[in-house]
Structure 1
Amino acid sequence: MMKIIIKDYSRRITLAIAVLTLGGGIAGCEKYVDIKTQGQLTPGTIENYRYLLNNTTTFEAAPALSDMAADDLEIIDGSAQQKSLSGSDSYGYYSRSYQWADDIYPIGNQNFKDDNWSRLYNAIAYANTVIAEVPKVSDGTPAEISQLAAEAKIHRASAYLMLANTYAKPYLRESANTELGVPLILQPTTEQSLNRGTLQQVYDAILADIEAALPALPAKQQFTTLPSKASAYGLLARTYLYMNSYADAAKAADQALALNDKLVDLTKITDTTMVNYPLRIYNPEILLSKVPINGITAYSPTAFRLSKDLLSLFDGSDQRYNLFTVPGSKISAWEVYDGRYYYLDFIKNEGRNVGPSVPEMLLIKAEAAARDNQAATAMALVNRLRASRIMPGSTVNLSATDAEDALVKVMQERRREFMFRMLRWWDMRRLKNDTRFQKTYTRTFGGNTFTLAPNSNRYVFRIAQYEINLSPEIVQNP
């Protein structure tokens, strides 16, 4: 039996439920727990850190709140879905996110702990452990050691990008040095300040991790859950996009596509049971698999009903509509569910990927081209994606009258491609001050009307009061 030290962060903050440290002590409050393990694992060996990084439950975690707040979703007031949600304390976070409520996880509610926050910081805590300890292992080549540390840095960078786009304001270069980011925890110790750094500091840390990791990563990995060079460039492209650095984003997307430009041809899948659609860990167009913490939206009230606005962007020739969505009768067998619902989670019985992908790289390049007055280039990239999404004989290739029209069409394609994949909410945040896309959103739930204006603070989720109570130095979002 081996003794594994488990770091308890809970005295300070529920950043991490538990951090495994296999190579030695770290200052702070410690609990010692004996864990029986199978095989011949030895503390301080590289194999342990490989197993730690293979913990997909930890490292694939992504926030789920975005999909409930975005305009892809519509809950019809008075419907069976809305009534079920209204009567469910367990799923209160779902309806409160939909209402852009002040507090998504209020104290006194059955679910007062924000799993989005804690799971992402848990991944960071595990990553910090690998980064700090793997250089001290008793075996392993320098290349093996560097690769494991690099993988951990990519996971850490990804987690911070998701945290920043959930609990901090959208990035603007002119204000990033003064806007609050999130607590920046880069060392595996409980004894450090949890004050929120600036948004610029968070993005600087993300970019530093990616750049440091790139040289040591393999070009490809066996599973999409393991970071590779393609993953790193994909994450870099995504990061630059949400920093509004479009030329840098396009360059990184190009580097990712040079390593992997494979697309799943949906036009070749005619069976709606999707038996030929690849599992997430093998899906060739996924650069790095990440899954929302609620996983499969199997409980029918929490199913995602497509909004009228989103539905208007599809027609019957689009396989994303035909294969990934279903009528309400497929969602609930015992209640009347009208409308159309996102169903990919159910069909493959696994969570949807929200991590960087080949389609995302194509559309990042397309957006950068449109913003650079290259309408034809932008549309060629959009049409390259659509060739694997739209059935032959229909309008596969789109055209644009000018760069402005191309940009609108790129953003529409992003909505079709990434419905309920986290990015729509991120796009709403970064585009809310752009007059070309600016909009005031209105929703009704339980007879009450809720409005999201471009200048609303509700584009930033508040940090659960439970976390503030544990760590009063964390400044709450307004």
Structure 2
Amino acid sequence: MKANGMLLFLLSIVISACQKDWLDAKPISNIVVPTTLSDCQGLLDNLLVNNLDDPSLGEMGSDNYILKDKVIPTVGLVEKNAYLWKVDVFENQPVDDWNIQYTKILYANTALDGVGKIDRIPSNIVEWDNVKGSALFNRAYANFNLSQIFAKVYDHTSSNEDLGIPIRTTVNLNDRVGRGTLEKTYQYIIDDLKTATAMLPLLPVRKIRPSKSACYGMLSRVYLAMQQFDKSLLYADSCIHIFGELLDYNKLDTTPIFPFNVYNDEVIYHRTLMSMLGLTHLSDIDTTLYKSYQQNDLRRNFFFKIRNGRLRFTGSYTQSYVGFGGLALDEVYLNKSECEIRLGDVKKGVESLNTLLRKRWKEGTYKEIKVNDASEALSIVLRERRKELLMRGIRWSDLRRLNKDPRIEKIVLSRFSNGVMYHLLPNDKKYVYPIPTNEILLNNMPQNSRE
């Protein structure tokens, strides 16, 4: 494809995605399928589409931050409604968390359509496999993100009845896709990731590209959400075996406002959360959370700084206020630790946690965790999980799954705003966001109940 043709192709997708809800977009009759592997790779390397703007609605509904009364009127309508757990979150406003993920899926499907028309021959095997594997990974990543916002938490006792998300596997905008079951949604995600695993290199050429290690890390995340701890542990171990060492915070400089470099050694795969005003510039960190970090815990100084009289989170692996939405090795170690403890190997699970925390505390001050009781060990690793992974879009998924776990004390979220106390109760229907109204009307799909 000529360069101008590719530009027009990309613009047509972006314009269609921005004008209306993605599934409601007008069919584009002149979409040109890329004809070379280079064109396909160019689609997948488009940082603005594939690596930015992952869903922020979950983080907005979580308990990592607060919006003070004086700033709430200055944030967007959707942000305010999500923060206060309103039943009608969107009020007919565009739903970027939905639209942008389906744009990512369209890019992935377009690349898959293109590579499917190119013969895989000895001279192009590596490039061909990388294109197909990357497209499958990107599609799986977007579908998983959507499932954490717009579908119920996975429960094996009801996953064949619970509604999933629309799974789109073609570039035809006229295709009307129903929701299917949650079980099928997760199976599509897992199948894409497993197929991609066999095609991608062990480590990424660039950290905006997926790799075998990223597939393993993502499979660990998906299986953890499904509470299939043996499989989550298997893929966590595989990822750690490939990827390398954790960052030693003792070797980092606390002087910069944002101390972590983009693409630092701990980053497996780089993505960012959507930059929402309330999350990125107007939020304060919950003070109870901040006080849970002890003085010699280096995260206390790396993650938080007082800026203009406000307690801000500055520990993102994006080197900015924008949340990190990708995969990093610390998350994988926490997956590993939690799963080992849940599967009965408390000693090994505690040692996995100690391996991480040694790199987080001031050298010579860390006291090894020594616990034999499984319940106590699980409580500790979940506490550290929250402290390590805040503002990454992970807390919402964790809250959903942990509130379904009979072994875990239920978590009630509370906000006090303008004289009113708001609560989000465990397993509340508001843990699932509504699908955009246009999608429901156009595709005759059932809506998520919020009441």
* TM-score (ref. length: structure 2): 0.90
Cα deviation for residue 145 of structure 1 reads 1.2
Aligned to 2:269: 288
Aligned to 1:21: none
Q: In structure 2, what is the Cα distance between the partners aligned to 1:420 and 1:426?
A: 12
Cα deviation for residue 33 of structure 1 reads 8.5
- 8 A contact 1:104–1:464 mirrored in 2: no
Aligned to 1:30: 28
Q: Which amino acid aligns with 1:129?
A: T
Aligned to 1:71: 63
Cα deviation for residue 392 of structure 1 reads 1.9
Q: In structure 1, what is the Cα distance between the partners aligned to 2:49 and 2:23?
A: 10
- 8 A contact 1:296–1:346 mirrored in 2: no
Alignment of 1:91 with 2:76, yes or no, is yes
- Aligned counterpart for 2:353 among listed residues 382, 388, 400: 382
Give secondary structure in 2 for the equivalent of 1:409.
Answer: helix
Cα deviation for residue 144 of structure 1 reads 1.5
Alignment of 1:157 with 2:140, yes or no, is yes
Cα deviation for residue 270 of structure 1 reads 3.5
- Aligned counterpart for 1:46 among listed residues 37, 42, 51: 37
Q: In structure 1, what is the Cα distance between the partners aligned to 2:197 and 2:114?
A: 19
Cα deviation for residue 317 of structure 1 reads 1.6
Q: In structure 2, what is the Cα distance between the partners aligned to 1:475 and 1:13?
A: 20
Q: In structure 2, what is the Cα distance between the partners aligned to 1:146 and 1:270?
A: 40
Alignment of 1:169 with 2:141, yes or no, is no
Aligned to 2:104: 123
Aligned to 1:104: 89
Aligned to 1:326: 305
Aligned to 1:311: 290
Q: In structure 1, what is the Cα distance between the partners aligned to 2:219 and 2:31?
A: 38
Q: Which amino acid aligns with 1:314?
A: Y
Cα deviation for residue 274 of structure 1 reads 6.0
- 8 A contact 1:366–1:382 mirrored in 2: yes
Alignment of 1:82 with 2:61, yes or no, is no
Q: Deviations over 1:120-162 (max 9, x none)?
A: 1110010001111113248971331122011010011111111
Aligned to 1:449: 421
Alignment of 1:460 with 2:397, yes or no, is no
Q: Which amino acid aligns with 2:89?
A: I
Cα deviation for residue 396 of structure 1 reads 4.2
- 8 A contact 1:224–1:283 mirrored in 2: no
**Structure 1 residue runs without a partner (length 5+):** 19-27, 35-41, 76-80
Aligned to 1:391: 362
- 8 A contact 2:105–2:138 mirrored in 1: yes
The 1:97–1:476 alpha-carbon spacing in structure 2 relative to 1, beyond 3 Å, is same
- 8 A contact 2:257–2:305 mirrored in 1: no
The 1:396–1:68 alpha-carbon spacing in structure 2 relative to 1, beyond 3 Å, is farther
Aligned to 2:229: 246
Cα deviation for residue 261 of structure 1 reads 2.8
Q: In structure 2, what is the Cα distance between the partners aligned to 1:477 and 1:204?
A: 21
Give secondary structure in 1 for the equivalent of 2:327.
Answer: coil
Q: Which amino acid aligns with 1:73?
A: Y
Cα deviation for residue 11 of structure 1 reads 12
- 8 A contact 1:230–1:287 mirrored in 2: yes
- 8 A contact 1:379–1:406 mirrored in 2: yes
- 8 A contact 2:151–2:182 mirrored in 1: yes
| Higher alpha-carbon deviation: 120-129 or 396-405 | 396-405
Q: In structure 2, what is the Cα distance between the partners aligned to 1:346 and 1:432?
A: 28
Q: CA RMSD in A?
A: 2.7
Q: In structure 2, what is the Cα distance between the partners aligned to 1:29 and 1:71?
A: 40
- 8 A contact 1:130–1:148 mirrored in 2: yes
Q: In structure 2, what is the Cα distance between the partners aligned to 1:297 and 1:319?
A: 26
Tell me the number of residue pairs that the alignment of Structure 1 and Structure 2 aligns: 438
Q: Deviations over 1:278-325 (max 9, x none)?
A: 22xx22212222211117878632x2x222442242122222220121
- 8 A contact 1:44–1:138 mirrored in 2: no
Q: Deviations over 1:20-47 (max 9, x none)?
A: xxxxxxxx9325499xxxxxxx961211
* TM-score (ref. length: structure 1): 0.85
**Structure 2 residue runs without a partner (length 5+):** none
Cα deviation for residue 219 of structure 1 reads 0.8
| Higher alpha-carbon deviation: 249-258 or 439-448 | 439-448
Q: Which amino acid aligns with 2:255?
A: T
Aligned to 1:358: 329
Q: Deviations over 1:321-344 (max 9, x none)?
A: 2012112xx1x4xxxx45x22123
Give secondary structure in 2 for the equivalent of 1:52.
Answer: helix
- 8 A contact 1:383–1:396 mirrored in 2: no
Q: Which amino acid aligns with 2:45?
A: N
Among the aligned pairs, what percent are the same residue? 25
The 1:346–1:200 alpha-carbon spacing in structure 2 relative to 1, beyond 3 Å, is closer
Q: Deviations over 1:394-439 (max 9, x none)?
A: 2342222411111001101101110111111111100113342312
Aligned to 1:145: 128
Aligned to 2:22: 15
Cα deviation for residue 64 of structure 1 reads 0.8
Q: In structure 1, what is the Cα distance between the partners aligned to 2:64 and 2:70?
A: 20
Cα deviation for residue 351 of structure 1 reads 3.3
Aligned to 2:50: 59
Cα deviation for residue 277 of structure 1 reads 3.2
Q: In structure 2, what is the Cα distance between the partners aligned to 1:398 and 1:158?
A: 34
Alignment of 1:402 with 2:373, yes or no, is yes
Q: Which amino acid aligns with 2:436?
A: A
Q: Which amino acid aligns with 2:147?
A: A
Alignment of 1:210 with 2:216, yes or no, is no
Give secondary structure in 2 for the equivalent of 1:287.
Answer: strand
Q: Which amino acid aligns with 1:232?
A: C
Cα deviation for residue 49 of structure 1 reads 1.2
